[in-house]
Amino acid sequence: MADHVAVSTQERNPWAAVRRTVLAVVAFFPLLNGVLVAAIDALKPYEVHLPGWVFLWLNGTLLAATILAALVTRVLAVPGVNDWLREHRVARWFTPEQK
């Protein structure tokens, strides 16, 4: 009998895994901007003002992190990549759980 490896849901539907990852990271955008607004309010008594580019830079960085996370999620959802990861002990913790 051949070894049968159960296919994970991320391998069966890789774009759903990417969507979940993107939605999870995008949820940080309002949190990040809320923290920045709180920081600005906290710094007002000290007459310290954050320039407008700080918002753009941090949101751009978060956008880049979102794209990178989506790319990594998509690559890790490829069945061939998961087979390779299962074969190598060092990278085995990247593989989806076996059922």
Write out pLDDT tens, residues 13-53.
888 888 988 898 888 888 888 888 898 889 889 888 878 88
Average pLDDT of the chain? 81
Is residue 17 within 8 Å of residue 73, measured between CB atoms?
yes
Over residues 82-96, the mean pLDDT reads: 72
